[in-house]
Amino acid sequence: MDNRPIGLFDSGIGGISILDKLKELLPNENFIFLADNKNCPYGYKSKKEIIFLSTKNCEKLIELNCKVLVVACNTATTNAIEKLREVIDIPIIGIEPGIKPAISYTKTKNIGILATEKTLNSKLFFETTNDNKIHDIKIHEQIGYKLVNIIEDGIISKKELDAILKLYLNPMIDKNIDCLVLGCTHYHYLKDNIKEILPPGISIIDTITPVNKHIKNVLILNESLNLHKNKGYVKIFYNGEKLSEKYIGKEYKLNYLEF
């Protein structure tokens, strides 16, 4: 049994979408979440910067005595996780865009993906999509310009947001996609808006559920589950402006921390 917390980080609030479901799956576990919103968004930074920031966040979580680390950010996963695993000796779990499940799902052989520029340009994403070209499947990429900032700010009207989403989604819809991969944890908060815009028959794929199941399996394999019967705690820290509660709600206590 190991009652040390599970540590997660993201550039902002996006990774809290993983935390929400993870604490339902593992209610007895303790959690620490770092929102590096001082440096948000990661999607336009260099690979070197992303590795530096991701390493800094992991070091802080280790300092806070976390037993396993979750890179709750697609951009950080696709650009930094290989380097993180070279220098950190506790389990590290990342979140990649759900291209593989989309390939298994698609019937039209056209997949759309909405993600950050740095995720779509990463070596890991290229390798994932290149491996599957034998399936004769077309992957239509769209950068979600400014969507992370919009979610972090939490002040845009529904009308304005829907107009931006239509600008990004319509070109992929016109390509006969039958599934849309959400390649950024922030975009989970836009799922309802996206569903309203997509025609019937187009499914939305994110990887929150399979990633959380993988986290549980890693804990089991490492004999690190917290077997206490009491409900675990959740601590969320940010290092920039106070986080908007529009998408994450008011159930969490948000604390400022230098890191």
DSSP letter at 181? E
What gap in Å lies between CA 140 and CA 45, rounded to an integer? 23
Q: State the Cα–Cα distance between residues 247 and 110, nearest whole angstrom.
A: 30
Radius of gyration of the chain (CA): 18
DSSP 253: P
Q: How far is CA 159 from CA 9, 153, 192, in A?
A: 31, 16, 14
Distance CA 61, CA 14 (A): 18
Q: Which residues are catalytic?
A: 73, 184
Torsion sign (Cα): 218, 220, 225, 231: positive
**Parallel, antiparallel or unpaired: strands 179-183 and 138-143:** unpaired
